[in-house]
Amino acid sequence: MAFVSRLFVLPHYCSPIADLSLVHNRRHKPKHNSYGTQKDDPVLTKVYICLTMWHENRREMKQFLKTLFRLDNDQAARYIAKNEESVCLDREAGIRDYYEFEAYIMFDDAMETTESRDGGEKKREPYEFVQQLIEIISEARMADYQVTINLEPPSKLITPYGGRLERTLPGGNKLAVHLKDKLRIRHKKRWSQIMYLYYLIGYKLVNSELQQTEKVKDFESAQNIFENLPKSLNQQVENTYVMALDSDVDFSPEALQLLIDRMKKNTNVGATCGRIKPGGSGPVMWYQKFEYAIGHWLQKSAEHVFGCVLCSPGCFSLFRAKALMDDNIMRTYANLPTEPKHYIHYDQGEDRWLCTLFLQQGYRIEYCAAAEVLTFAPEELQK
């Protein structure tokens, strides 16, 4: 995970005899720590896993929830390895690789109008897909252990934008489902992203830390005092990441760890993405695999080698919180569309636009081919 300049005397190698070239070019006593951060770094790595749901089917919902429980089990094991010397042989590596995460699901168009049986006042209640998600949580949990597990119902809260369901996973991590009512708040994916970025970075991360010194009323005031943040909070922002996912992804905990390592290797990296593989079968699926091989594997690998990746897809990407708080990134990303072209530029190509703001600010975007994720793609031409 170290820079090439720290590992090798020369950044080049001889392709006909690559193995001998690398062996003789390797530095034997590196002056710097091979890992990106110091060994005594006390700052906890925090990951906010965020995704937007709409009207996904049971298969797609279950796929993500199984992945979430897999991450929860892995994080609980890392916690034990970090605190128990007898369990972890390499305790230093256990502390270095330890992270905590919270999962947030933004449920778009989650409310519908229903009439009471006695003909009284109409009410806005959760859509049937919300009930489907609650049922599948128990099913996804049982899929890992192959036994019947009864989970406690989530806590329900009424919010200005609709409602929120909160649950603590068996490993101690938090899962929150935000039910958005489109009559109260803007819907669609970009506005869901803006919602959780403002909530996680502008409120949970900054406002909670500074509530005893200076009250942060909105995201703009957080940006104004960002340069004068305490050193501890500045380090926490540096080690906090937002992971953007789609609702049908399937990946291993090792894939997330690889993305975190890539970010810690270079603090100038604002975002990193993994290798996306479509799943399924059939002629349409064959075309999808070819499209992914050209547009994702070959193109992003070439961009990474030549200089910098131009777009980090929103289905499996990790973003640095400090980079999101930088000038002209998060605030510009939240611009309102005022012209017809803005609806295409802002709402349909939101991931490419956000990455363009990163590049304009001087941050790098990198590609990690070892971090693989499986996503469902259409298997037929019919809707």
- What pLDDT, on the 0 to 100 scale, is given for residue 223? 54
134 within a domain of the structure (yes/no): yes
* 368 within a domain of the structure (yes/no): no
Q: What is the pLDDT of residue 254?
A: 93
Query: Do the bridges between strand 99-107 and strand 45-53 make them parallel or antiparallel, or are there none, so unpaired?
Result: parallel
Average pLDDT taken over every residue of the chain:
82
What is the token pair recorded at 331? 């605030």
Q: Assess whether pLDDT exceeds 70 at residue 138.
A: yes
Q: Tell me whether residue 78 is in a domain.
A: yes
**Structural domain that includes position 172:** 44-247
Kindly tell me if the per-residue pLDDT of 56 is higher than 90. no
Q: What angle do CA 123, 176, 333 make, to 5 degrees?
A: 90
Q: What is the pLDDT of residue 222?
A: 54
For residue range 293-336, list pLDDT tens digits in order: 888 889 999 999 888 999 999 889 999 999 998 878 988 998 88
Q: Tell me if 272 is assigned to some domain.
A: no
Q: What is the pLDDT of residues 233-288, one digit of tens each?
A: 677 788 899 999 988 899 999 999 999 999 988 889 999 999 999 887 888 888 88
pLDDT at 90: 53
Which is it for strands 316-320 and 269-279: parallel, antiparallel or unpaired?
A: antiparallel
The Cα–Cα gap between 241 and 288 comes to: 30
Residue at token pair 């999101």: 324
DSSP three-state, residue 111:
strand
CA distance 123 to 363: 47
Does residue 292 lie in a domain region? no
Average pLDDT over residues 178-207: 87
* Residues 128 and 137: beta-carbon distance below 8 Å: no
User: Is 211 contained in some domain?
Assistant: yes
Q: What 8-state DSSP symbol labels residue 224? A: H
- Please indicate, yes or no, if residue 285 is contained in any of the structural domains: no
The domain total for the chain is 1
Distance CA(271)–CA(308), nearest Å, equals: 11
Q: Is residue 195 part of a domain?
A: yes
Q: Are 105 and 51 in contact (CB under 8 A)?
A: yes
- Give the DSSP H or E segment for 133: helix 128-145
pLDDT reading at 39 higher than 50: no
Percent of all residues in the chain with a pLDDT value above 70, rounded to a whole number: 81
Contact predicate 128/159, CB 8 Å:
no
pLDDT attached to residue 212:
45
Contact between 262 and 368 (Cβ < 8 Å): yes
